[in-house]
Amino acid sequence: MEFKRLNVCMSGSAMSCEECLIIHPSCAWCAQEKFGSARTLTSRCDLRQNLQKRGCEAHHMESPSSSTTVVKSEPLSSKGSGPTQYDVIQIMPQKISLSLRPGDQTSFKVQVRQVEDYPVDLYYLMDLSLSMKDDLDTIRNLGTKLADEMRKLTSNFRLGFGSFVDKNMSPFSYTASKYQDNPCNGYKLFPSCVPSFGFRHLLSLTDKVDRFNEEVQKQMVSRNRDAPEGGFDAILQAAVCKERIGWRKEAFHLLVFATDDVPHLALDGKLGGLVQPHDGECHMNEKNEYSGSTKMDYPSLALLGEKLAENNIYLIFAVTKRLYVIYKNFTALIPGTTVEILDQDSKNIIQLIVNAYNNIRSKVELTVWDQPEELSLSFTATCQDGQPLPGLRKCADLKIGDTVSFNVSVDARGCPAPGTQQSFTIKPVGFKDRLEVSVDYRCDCGCTDQTQANSTHCSSIGQYTCGICRCDPGYLGARCECQEGEVGSMYLSACRQAEGMQICGGRGECSCNQCLCYESEFGKIYGTFCECDDFSCARHKGILCSGHGECHCGECKCHAGFIGDNCNCSTDTSSCVSDDGQICSGRGSCACGRCQCTEPGAFGDTCEKCPTCPDACGTKRECIECRLFSSGRLSDNQTCQRLCKDEIITVETLKTDDPNAVLCLYKTENECVMKFTYSEHANGMSVLTALKEPECGTAPDAMTVLLAVVGSILLVGIVLLAIWKLVITVHDRREFARFQSARSRARYEMASNPLYKQPISNDYVETNFSMYSKSYNGAAH
């Protein structure tokens, strides 16, 4: 039973060799003349090994496979400028050809290298509304200084200049007659300025940077009515007017967009009565001004991204700090863009451009153009660490000259109409280099070339092709030997799947030893006994096989990239990749394109949030080091900005009484202790609260320590001696008291005992007697 369930080739849906090949890439068709049973037309479609066991010779089998052929593969260049400037190659190979069988995946490898000293074209597009007056004053000598800095990065640098304000029409600008020549009329802070304009091209790209300074010196600011500017009109014209701007084909294209306010977007033009969408074309008049400013709406983000990518242009948003988040969101919608914070007076513009250039050159991201609907593509990136990253088509933190590779897997979901020529292009964002991929489909069988009309194999009333007969209308049977409508009892038993079951399962009629299945409004009924159909499979939200698979005899056969009983589960893991490149931040698994966090306490779209995880403090420590002290493993500015997006609050004294916050501390290189807390707010924001400076103790004086140790030893000795003396004294006093007590008892016994008499020695008696005699004699005299 298990074998039958897995053998999709025997499902009975294949009525020809071509249909067999589409079922599954493991299916093969046997075109051998004498093969199989005469009672079924589907037995010729089976697994290749099964056909061999059943007697089909290898040269009669039709089972094409997908293949990849490299057509052009020039080696990667190492340097961009110089004599070989126009032959620089940054992607390999350059042309390949794919031959695809539906469902049979094939793959190829793409290598990309950012060469050193590549030519750079930089077009500076500046907002000349009134609020940018101080910025205009700052950049009047920008050309020379910028060229000096950029020539440290490339020996071939060109610079251009353009400006914008907004559409010169109501309600975007002042249109009353008194403002026609001077929109600042009556404005006390700045009473004189030039009329408003949409976009004005002032200097084509040139290596004569002094001309940039001269053009900037001539400029004056203007004044518009509302806060948003018409900058997106200007960006699109600067991108598509290639000849006017002077973009070189063999150069790195940078478009710097400097502003201090938000842009108008598509549909804003309707406020002024502009209902015509932007056509994405160049509209520059003889004065090098945008002539469609008052005729068409502002461009959409999608159109802007398309034209920038089409012309290999990197867009750098140089905006003030309060606009950073808005323009950062734009970068997610427009490929090949980056955003940098501009000082209020543009003092940091040179460093900003250099940083943005280095940031852009540290990344490689592949895009796909003109992908046919029948194809499914998946990418695996191998960056500098050599580890494959499935689902990613981007590498970051690269150095100029590094080579990265991508493995591209291609799968055909179906076959287009015969004779259809298809191709698509893979190109790195901002590169002129591209890989052109041509595609042909292996949907036809070679045996059809030997088709015989009115063949004797088919009773001369049908075509013999690939081992089977295709009967003329009105005839049927393995050899077209029967006419429709012939019914006999001898045929009926062959049309029952088992004794006692309905003929053809109740879903067909028995004719000429075989079942002819009924038509159904729901789909196709097929099989030897009409037991199968293509509509009785599991559904998801009412859609058969979720729209990501084909129904074969009650079972969904999922397209590449999907699994599950109803094919509703995607195997793509790109949405589960966290900012650090790991699947679900290493704290969970990716199931159906969504992270399922397994680490206790982890949450977030990619399990990136986890205050209670053992590595939480270590992970956030690196962000504290790079954000506050520009040190540590992530001290590189681009890496720090990419991985450390949490809000960091610095305080003088750290409060640790918040039960929802985790206290973290670590020792710095200076033997100080840095403390911070990590918490997650209800709005999903991660907040780090850190001390402004690490806590550092004062190292003690060596002599003080020595004296303290000696003094402590002496003090301990004296204390021990005093304790010993006290113990001895107490002991002696107790012994003396005991002696006195014993002595007193002895005296009492001598004084009170009537039987006791003091002993008298002879010496004592004689002495007393002698003294008595002398006393007596003296008295006598």
Class of domain 614-691: few secondary structures
At 576-621, the pLDDT tens digits run 888 777 888 888 888 888 888 888 877 788 887 777 776 667 777 7
Least confident of 130-139, 671-680, 755-764: 755-764
Least confident of 121-130, 200-209, 510-519: 510-519
In this prediction, residue 679 carries a pLDDT of 78
Under 8 Å between Cβ of 432 and 248 = no
At 81-128, the pLDDT tens digits run 555 456 789 999 999 999 999 888 999 999 999 888 889 999 999 999
In this prediction, residue 125 carries a pLDDT of 94
Chosen CATH of 120-361 out of 3.40.50.170, 3.40.50.620, 3.20.20.70, 3.40.50.410: 3.40.50.410
Phi-psi region of 280 (alpha: psi -120 to 50; beta: other; left: phi over 0): left
Q: Does the pLDDT at position 774 exceed 60?
A: no
Least confident of 196-210, 313-327, 439-453, 736-750: 736-750
In this prediction, residue 264 carries a pLDDT of 93
Contacts of 742 (CB under 8 A, 6+ apart): none
For residue 393, which of 402, 385, 404, 401 has the smallest C-alpha distance? 404
For residue 299, which of 282, 270, 279, 314 has the smallest C-alpha distance? 279
User: Quick one: average pLDDT of 666-670?
Assistant: 76
Burial of 467 (0-12, 13-18, 19+ CB in 10 A): buried
What mean pLDDT, rounded, does the chain reach? 83
For residue 50, which of 42, 450, 19 has the smallest C-alpha distance? 42
Q: Does the pLDDT at position 176 exceed 90?
A: no
pLDDT band at 707 (very low <50, low <70, confident <90, very high): confident
Least confident of 316-325, 481-490, 532-541, 559-568: 481-490
In this prediction, residue 12 carries a pLDDT of 55
Q: Which residue has the higher pLDDT, 202 or 573?
A: 202
Q: Does the pLDDT at position 54 exceed 50?
A: yes
At 731-743, the pLDDT tens digits run 888 888 888 888 7
Q: Which residue has the higher pLDDT, 678 or 408?
A: 408
Under 8 Å between Cβ of 348 and 342 = yes
Q: What is the pTM of this model?
A: 0.58
User: What is the C-alpha separation between 371 and 378, in angstroms, rounded?
Assistant: 12
In this prediction, residue 241 carries a pLDDT of 96
Which residue in the block uniquely carries the two structure tokens 């101080």?
134
Q: Does the pLDDT at position 484 exceed 80?
A: no
Under 8 Å between Cβ of 261 and 226 = no
Amino acid identity of 739? F
For residue 319, which of 363, 231, 372, 260 has the smallest C-alpha distance? 260
User: Quick one: average pLDDT of 428-455?
Assistant: 89
User: Quick one: average pLDDT of 38-63?
Assistant: 78
In this prediction, residue 11 carries a pLDDT of 60
* Ranges 19-28, 128-137, 373-382, most confident: 373-382
Burial of 780 (0-12, 13-18, 19+ CB in 10 A): exposed
In this prediction, residue 766 carries a pLDDT of 53
In this prediction, residue 328 carries a pLDDT of 93
Q: Which residue has the higher pLDDT, 710 or 761?
A: 710
In this prediction, residue 752 carries a pLDDT of 58
Under 8 Å between Cβ of 193 and 173 = no
pLDDT band at 36 (very low <50, low <70, confident <90, very high): low
Which residue in the block uniquely carries the two structure tokens 């126009």?
86
Query: Strands 525-526 and 549-552: what pairing?
Result: unpaired
Q: Which residue has the higher pLDDT, 752 or 402?
A: 402
- Burial profile 266-276: b = 16 or more Cβ within 10 angstroms, e = fewer: bebbeebebee
Q: Which residue has the higher pLDDT, 243 or 764?
A: 243
pLDDT band at 414 (very low <50, low <70, confident <90, very high): confident
DSSP string, 223-238: --SSSSB-HHHHHHHH
Q: Residue 47 pairs with which residues in a beta bridge?
A: 27
At 233-283, the pLDDT tens digits run 999 999 999 999 999 988 889 999 999 899 999 999 999 999 999 999 999
Determine the number of helices (DSSP H) and then strands (DSSP E) in the chain: 16, 40
Helix ranges (DSSP H) in 80-156: 133-138, 142-150
Task: Give the three-class secondary structure for 397.
Answer: coil
The tokens of 167 are what? 């559409």
User: Quick one: average pLDDT of 661-675?
Assistant: 78
Phi-psi region of 63 (alpha: psi -120 to 50; beta: other; left: phi over 0): beta
In this prediction, residue 262 carries a pLDDT of 92
pLDDT band at 323 (very low <50, low <70, confident <90, very high): very high
User: Quick one: average pLDDT of 628-642?
Assistant: 72
Second CATH level (architecture) for the domain 67-80+88-116+364-441: Sandwich (2.60)
* % the chain with pLDDT above 70: 87
Contacts of 104 (CB under 8 A, 6+ apart): 25, 65, 66, 411, 412, 442
Q: Does the pLDDT at position 776 exceed 50?
A: no
Under 8 Å between Cβ of 373 and 345 = no
In this prediction, residue 638 carries a pLDDT of 67
Q: Does the pLDDT at position 209 exceed 80?
A: yes
pLDDT band at 534 (very low <50, low <70, confident <90, very high): confident
Domain ranges of the chain: 1-64, 67-80+88-116+364-441, 120-361, 485-535, 614-691
In this prediction, residue 41 carries a pLDDT of 43
Is domain 1-64 given the CATH code 3.30.1680.10 in the classification?
yes
In this prediction, residue 779 carries a pLDDT of 44
| Contacts of range 84-88, beta carbons closer than 8 Å, 24 or more positions apart | 85/119, 85/156, 85/250, 86/250, 88/115, 88/118, 88/250, 88/433
**Rg of the chain over CA atoms, in angstroms?**
47
Q: Which residue has the higher pLDDT, 251 or 669?
A: 251
What CATH number should be reported for the domain whose range is 485-535?
A: 2.10.25.10
Under 8 Å between Cβ of 513 and 502 = no
